[in-house]
Structure 1
Amino acid sequence: MAVYYISPNGDDSRSGNSQDTAWKTCEKVNCSKFFPGDRIRFERGGKWNETLIPTSSGTAENPIVIEPYGEGAPPILTGEIEITEWVNEGNNIYSKTNPDFKNLELLTIDGNTREKGRFPKKTYLTTTSASGNASVTTKSAEFPSSLDFKGGEIVVTKNSWIQDKGKITGHSNGTLTYAGTSKYPASEGWGFFVQNHASCLTEFGDWWFDSSAKKLFMHFGEEYPSAHVIKVANSVSVVDVKRVNHLRFENIDIIYGHKQCVALTNAKDNTFKCCNIRYAGAHGFQHYDLGGFSDGTTIEGCTIQDTFNNAIKANNNFSITIKNCAISRNYIHPGTAGNGDGNGSTIALGIDNYRGGKYIVEDNLIEDSGYDAIHFSMSDVSVKRNKIYSSCLTKEDGGAIYCFGKGGGEKYVNRQICENTIVNTLALTVPNGWKAQEVYAIYLDEDCQNVIVENNTVINAVNGIYLHAAKNNQIRFNKVYNTTYSGLYVKANNETEASTGNTITDNEFHFFSGCGVRLVSKNNLTNIGTINRNRYVKPTGGDLFDVNYGGDKYSSIASWTKAYGYDANSSTDPTTKIPIPDPDPIKSKSAESDEDCF
């Protein structure tokens, strides 16, 4: 079991077996052979602008460890390019050409991510008409007559859960034609904006990238570029693990990945502990399956920040463990996530996985998610004791914790959502200005089955717990505080896709507005399952239960029980003051970490 050292002041012609004979580059590591139990040590305070591509595997008993040595800040592996020597283009706009530029997606100004320049700046243009997946039209007056956005990007909200971007192929008056988005058609009443075009550069920080000329343009206002540090993510991956198993990364900073910071392809039983993952043009961690599976990844005690699509994406893994991590600011800029379904969730696990395994998401702090904080659809899932603060900031029809089951939900078993604290799952203002109701703290979607939802606390939400055509789930001992639309929302798609066989007992729903239980179904209103021994507190008085969007409303448990047979042993006290827990202690800068992380 050998130890190898890498230092910015090293020399690749040396042995690498001591600090005095350290290697210099990741490339030397990439082309060297290692054995189980070996340790690869990067000097603290050092920085390597290279991709690390390990080629040797360890074993379960003796992993190959990648770790720091010395004193100071953790070593940095980065895929950044710092932009200097700008060319003044006039009108406060500067440019930089570099033939090595990828198709730039992530840029930082003094360490803060900056979205591309856009029109309009913060709002959306309303889609007054749309032609399938080919064009959208808004009022001509919304576009200054001098602007022609052909060649730019359109970011079009097509419905509540799809926001796509594509290439603008034509612009005539108020109509934009485009290509390259997902299968979903655009719809009247939603909205769009334009980005990545010269006409969008009107204020400090606006930028666009001309991919054909490999040229970056940026508006600096009245300031000089030299007053700021501008960096872009340019390496496709910063750490690229392909068909290599039993590696253990500890206390390494992995930053500025153009596509992802860490790529794992057909790689098994690899561990990342106490690493800092930051600035990813798409994913913090991305698992690829090419003729095999990436299985057994452990991500523990890590900080993951500023990712544009998913902080962690793991489709079709046999198992993954995510524990004690602090994850923040995923997909907070509209127009950065991928197109179509399943993009934008902070933790995205599985698409259609029924191979067995274990999926553990426990004791994490997740803050500021553009879409779902945790999204899963497979068996053997434990989502426990997570603290989730502010979800669905960019698009809706999602939740802090989201489970999908359509396509055979009955085959998914042993799934638990327990003891989580969820704060501020609130409505966003969608493009037409309507305050949407399709945001949920816990969301069991189409044919989601066999899930235990127990002992969770929800504070400040549009809707607390949502069952959408969900069956055979157990909703018990949850406390839901201060919902504005529904504490519990149960909906059926139709007679054959109903929410049935559920047990909903011993929960507390505290609310000032909206209702405690909302049922929406043309049929099967009495076949949802068992709803009983719950407590409803509404100090403002008024309706506690709503059926079919106000078709029937009930202000007492007795009338509700008489109509549908639910809540025969439940209680209510309209005079009780709602004891809303203080959410502030939940929010923090980082997750609690093991002492041996530092």
Structure 2
Amino acid sequence: MKISPSAATSILLSMAFCAVSSPALAINYYVSSTGSDSNNGNSEAVTGPAKGPFATLNALTRLKLENGDNIFLACGERFQGPLNLSLQSTRAGALTITRSGNCIENPRPVITGKIQLAALSGVGQVSDLTLPVGEIVQVFAGNIPVARARFPKSTYLIYPDTAIASDIRIPSNSAIDGKDLLKAVAHARTEEWFLEERTIIDVNLALDKKLEHPLNHKAGVYFTGKEWMIGTDYNWAYDKSIHKLSINKHTNYPVSVVYQGDLLLISGRGSVVVDSVEFDGAGADGLKINIQDGPVKVNNIMSRHSVGNGISVWGAITAEVTNSKIEDTGLDAIFFAESLNATVKKNVILNAGLYQGPNPNLAAINAHRTVSATVTENFIDRAGYIGIRVSGAAKVQGNILQSTCLNLSDCGAIYTWRRNIDDLRPLTEISGNVIKNVDGDISVKRWLNDWFVGIYLDDYTKNVSVDGNIIINAGQSIYLHNAENNFVKNNYSVASRVYNLIMKNDKNAIQQGDLYAGGDVVYIGMSSPYTFRTQNIFESNTTVKTGWSVQNFGESLQTNETLRFLTGFKKADGTFPVTPLPVNCVNKTIGSPEGGLKIVSAAVYACL
């Protein structure tokens, strides 16, 4: 067949357009229980000999993946992990991992790290299993996590004032004298705000790695990893010294275990999209993407039961995590490292840093190691430590955070700091957030004060605007510590337990006069000479507290209202004032028999 010159030109132009607009040689791969690992994986259904989907994730590990390739996992199916993928690509497009098939009734495929064990002995008996080399880090009865055995059972072992401090071994204590702790894990709360994990390597209780802070008097520690810790509860312990798993079985549900390691790890160079996939039972991070260049996009995923982070992104130029649900993580729910720009939007986070804890996590959303970050419209309920942690050039807007700082002190629901006095980053905006219930564990108390802060601007923080936030039931609503040149305005502080607004410097800090009145005053730490404290501005902040007068102080104080009662708060004389807060407050009142307060702001709410 002859082709006219004009038609040939048209075909060439079309081919050139396709070469520019589409990744060259992009390949689709499918994984389904209907397939076989001997197939080519290139079609959703079997189309001929060796033509059809793969059956397992293991088949993907032998592929040379490129940007533009797509991996489709069948909806409603569970795939055994872990899965480690390598990507080395500079071509256009992104490696995409997503769902396929009937996704209406079964919206997400599941990658799981759970491995079911053979039948164990009867209910109420401790079963001992010697397993292949590899550390067991989770145990499930059916789909329910089994608690890890520990000693002490539910608290820390607190060292007395007579303790001899050490950072290389566990100090002597009568509670553990004579107990087998070889290869046990010591979880050392060396400061109110710091928790470290080390393995005991000999009978003298030496540690495998030096502690960052010594175990000193009033510090605390608990231990895991020995059968004798199980007792009569439904618990488990994995003894690393002999690779033995011990379980005190209390149900007839099948038992599954999870080995240490990331559930899905994608590493190398290129761009990655992960969309509409569920991760359940990770021995480290649920989803870890360690990619040079980028960008990385994670959308509509669910991550549950991760010993490490729910989602972690390392090294990407841009990283987005949106519309996802992350629950029950041992470390951070969402973590970024060395990314230029991070966006975290419309995610739901539950029990961050609380899973099998207390744990050394940093934040439910941790964007501190980024150049810039946007964190908006997320919901966080229960976090072991900080709720949202950012550095400079950040926007933290319209988030709801409730019940943060549950495991550690010196903590903020929203927290930022800078590395040194010369760390001059662009403006950070913290606005329109609702924070409720900032309170936690004070069983380890080495110093005088406990800090459970709504919004915490820590060391060297500059150029931060804190505007229009609502903080309910924090120890300290807003705290500026060694911070300067910040703007705090139009915020509402409700029922702070200690201070509403506080500005303090470490050098020669003193309380301003004799104005402490049951937690209703600003504490101003004065220092001279010192570079901090001179340029923070407080404007039009409102505090609400039952029956007390409130006074606000600042170096450049402007129009701060001394007190604004909310309908439903009893005054000292027992009467109810009627002046409402200037926000949309509906549905009953604080302190009344009918119930709590609902505050509606930017289409989000918090209820007392």
**Any residues of structure 2 matched to 1:64-103 within 5 Å, and which?**
64=96, 66-71=98-103, 72-73=105-106, 74-86=108-120, 92-100=125-133, 102-103=134-135
Q: Given the alignment of the two structures, is residue 302 of structure 1 paired with residue 314 of structure 2, yes or no? A: no
Q: Cα 1:126–1:36, aligned 2, differ >3 Å: closer, same or farther?
A: closer
CA contact (8 A) 1:120 1:194 kept: yes
Equivalent-residue separation in structure 1 for 2:158 and 2:260 (angstroms) = 37
Counterpart check, 1:194 vs 2:207: no
SS in 1 for 2:58: helix
Q: 1:476 Cα shift?
A: 1.3
SS in 1 for 2:350: strand
Instruction: Name the aligned partner's letter for residue 26 of structure 1.
Output: L
Mapping 1:517-528, distance limit 5 Å: 517-523=522-528, 527=534
Change (3 A) 1:536 1:211: closer
Match for 2:58: what amino acid? Answer: E
Superimposed CA distance per residue, residues 150-183 of structure 1 (whole angstroms, 9 cap, x where no aligned partner): 44232222111111222345679xxx66453532
The residue number in structure 1 matching 2:59 is 28
What is the CA deviation profile of residues 289-340 of structure 1, one whole-angstrom value per residue up to 9, with x for unaligned ones?
xxxx3231211111111111111221221112111111111221575634xx
Superposed counterparts of 1:227-376, under 5 Å: 227-234=252-259, 236-267=261-292, 268-288=294-314, 293-333=315-355, 335=357, 337-338=359-360, 343-351=361-369, 356=371, 358-376=372-390
Asked if 2 retains the 8 angstrom alpha-carbon contact of 1:132 and 1:186, the reply is yes
CA contact 1:308–1:331 (8 Å) conserved in 2: yes
Q: Secondary structure at the match of 2:419?
A: coil
What is residue 130 of structure 1 aligned with on the other side?
A: 164
CA distance in 1: counterparts of 2:142 and 2:430, whole angstroms? 39
Q: C-alpha separation between the residues in 2 aligned to 1:170 and 1:11?
A: 48
SS at 2:284 equivalent: strand
Compute the displacement of 1:253 (Å): 0.9
Q: For the structure 1 residues 45 and 566, does the alpha-carbon distance in structure 2 shift closer, same or farther, using more than 3 Å as the test?
A: closer
Change (3 A) 1:427 1:29: closer
Shift of 1:201: 0.9
Say if 1:79 and 1:235, in contact at 8 Å, map to a contact too: no
Deviation at 1:87, TM superposition (A): 5.6
Aligned to 1:213: 242
Deviation at 1:228? 2.4
Aligned to 1:530: 537
Query: Computing the radius of gyration over CA atoms, which structure comes out larger, 1 or 2?
Result: 2
For 1:28 and 1:136, how far apart are their aligned partners in 2? 46
Q: Secondary structure at the match of 1:28?
A: helix
Equivalent AA in structure 1 for residue 351 of structure 2: R
Distance 1:376 1:106 in 2: 30
Separation of aligned partners in 2, 1:438 and 1:389: 16
The question of whether the paired residues in 2 share the 8 Å contact of 1:117 and 1:200 is answered with yes
* Distance in 2 of aligned mates of 1:253 and 1:566: 50
The answer to whether the 8 A contact 2:192-2:408 is kept is: yes
1:99-157 Cα distance to aligned partner (Å, 9 max, x none): 15x322333344344442112211222211132314555763x45x7744444232222
1:138–1:211 CA distance, 2 compared to 1 (3 A) = closer
How much has 1:408 moved relative to structure 2? 3.8
**Number of positions where the alignment pairs a residue of Structure 1 with one of Structure 2:** 535
Following TM superposition, by how much is the alpha carbon of 1:344 offset from its aligned partner in structure 2, in angstroms? 3.4
- 1:427: how far off? 3.7
Q: 2:72 aligns with which of 41, 58, 63?
A: 41
In 1, Cα distance between equivalents of 2:39 and 2:124: 52
Which secondary structure state, in structure 2, belongs to the residue aligned with residue 571 of structure 1? coil
Q: What secondary structure sits across from 2:59 in the alignment?
A: helix
Q: Which residue in the other structure is 2:195 paired with? A: 163
Q: Secondary structure at the match of 2:263?
A: strand
Q: Residue in 2 aligned with 1:444?
A: 457
Q: 3-state DSSP class of the match of 1:246?
A: strand
Q: Which residue of structure 2 lines up, in the alignment, with residue 383 of structure 1?
A: 396
C-alpha change, 1:61 and 1:119, in structure 2 (3 Å) is closer
Counterpart AA for 2:352: N
Tell whether 2:32 aligns with 1:18: no
Deviation at 1:486, TM superposition (A): 0.7
Structure 2: 5+ residue stretches without partners: 1-25, 47-51, 511-515, 566-570, 572-576, 581-588
Equivalence for 2:85? 53
Q: Where does 1:407-418 land on structure 2 (aligned, <5 Å)?
A: 407-408=420-421, 410-418=423-431
Question: Using CA pairs below 8 Å that are at least 6 residues apart, which structure has the higher relative contact order?
Answer: 1
Q: 1:111 to 1:458 in 2, by over 3 A?
A: farther
Deviates more, 1:571-580 or 1:456-465: 571-580
* TM-score normalised over the length of structure 1: 0.80
One-letter amino acid of the counterpart of residue 345, structure 2: K
Letter in 1 for 2:214: P
Q: CA RMSD in A?
A: 3.5
2:127/2:246 contact within 8 Å kept: yes
Instruction: Return the match for 1:107 from 134, 139, 145.
Output: 139
Asked if the contact 1:333–1:394 (Cα under 8 Å) also holds between the matched residues in 2, the reply is: no
Q: Distance in 2 between matches of 1:460 and 1:308?
A: 26
Residue aligning to 2:562: 571
Deviations 1:239-259 (A, max 9, x none): 221124333222111222212
What corresponds to 2:547 in structure 1?
540
CA deviation vs aligned residue, 1:428-449 (integer Å, no higher than 9, x gap): 2324699962111111110011
The whole-number CA distance in structure 2 between the counterparts of 1:150 and 1:105 is 17
Q: Are the structure 2 counterparts of residues 418 and 569 from structure 1 closer, same or farther at C-alpha, using a change threshold of 3 Å?
A: closer
Contact 1:58 1:64 in 2 (8 A): no
> Can you list the C-alpha shifts for 1:502-557, whole angstroms capped at 9, x where unaligned?
xxxxxxxxx99412311223447983543454444443225x35xxxxxxxxxxx7
Q: TM-score, normalised by structure 2?
A: 0.79
Report deviation, 1:95: 2.0
* Separation in structure 2 between the aligned mates of residue 380 and residue 311 of structure 1, nearest angstrom: 21
Q: Which runs of 5+ in 1 are unaligned?
A: 499-510, 546-556, 592-598
Distance in 2 (alpha carbons) for counterparts of 1:162 and 1:64:
38
Q: Which amino acid aligns with 1:93?
A: V
Amino acid at match of 2:234: G
Q: Which amino acid aligns with 1:111?
A: N
Contact 1:165 1:335 in 2 (8 A): no
Among candidates 442, 449, 455, match of residue 429 of structure 1: 442
| Distance in 2 separating the partners of 1:281 and 1:254 | 12
Q: Is the 8 A contact 1:429 1:435 kept in 2?
A: no
Cα gap change, 1:207/1:64 in structure 2, threshold over 3 Å: closer, same or farther? Answer: closer
Q: 1:34 to 1:519 in 2, by over 3 A?
A: same
CA distance in 1, matches of 2:221, 2:241: 25
Whole-angstrom distance in 2 between the partners of 1:328 and 1:263: 19
Q: 1:333 to 1:417 in 2, by over 3 A?
A: same
Matches of 1:311 and 1:48 in 2, distance apart?
22
Aligned-partner Cα distance in 2 for 1:240–1:489 = 43
The answer (yes or no) to whether the contact 1:398–1:440 under 8 Å persists in 2 is yes
Cα distance in 1 for residues equivalent to 2:365 and 2:79: 28
State the Cα distance separating 1:475 from its structure 2 match.
1.0
- The Cα of 1:463 is off from its aligned counterpart by 1.0
Is the CA contact 1:12–1:25 (under 8 Å) kept in the aligned structure 2? Answer: yes
More divergent stretch after superposition (255-264 vs 395-404): 255-264
Which residue matches 2:18?
Answer: none
Looking at structure 2, the residues matched to 334 and 533 of structure 1 have their Cα atoms a distance apart, in angstroms, of 43
Alignment counterpart, residue 117 of structure 1, candidates 141, 144, 149: 149
Secondary structure of 2:477's aligned partner:
strand
* 8 Å Cα contact 2:283/2:308 also seen in 1: yes
2:505 paired with 1:492: yes
Q: In 1, are the aligned partners of 2:495 and 2:545 still within 8 Å (CA)?
A: no
More moved, 178-187 vs 479-488: 178-187
In the alignment, which residue of structure 2 is the partner of 1:473? 486
